[in-house]
Amino acid sequence: MNRRNCIRLLCAAPLVLIAPPALAELSEREAVARVREHTDGRVLGVERRGSHYRVRVLVAPGQVRVYRVDARSGEVR
């Protein structure tokens, strides 16, 4: 490897380490699947709100629970 290429490589290497990895976000379907791991209720609806999904679930007759699923991490709250 010639000197010029070696210098280019040394200059470019830190950029790879600094650049954040591309994070894939969950789809609506994946968000619902995550919620279904926590409940057997019937999913009434899914709505994207910024960086999370809002999933409404009928857990008992007349009782609706709202789950929040982080679109990046998949964490269910």
The token duo for 41 is: 């209720």
Give the CATH architecture of domain 25-77: Roll (3.10)
The token duo for 31 is: 């968000």
**Residue 3 has what pLDDT?**
78
Dihedral of CA 66/68/74/76: which sign? negative
| Per-residue model confidence as pLDDT tens for the chain (77 residues) | 677 777 777 777 666 666 455 568 999 999 999 999 999 999 999 999 999 999 999 999 999 999 999 999 999 99
**d(C-alpha 24, C-alpha 5), whole Å:** 33
Strand order in the sheet with 52-60: 42-49, 52-60, 63-70
**Residue 18 has what pLDDT?**
60
Q: pTM for this structure?
A: 0.69
Provide the residue ranges of all domains of the chain, joining segments of one domain with +. Answer: 25-77
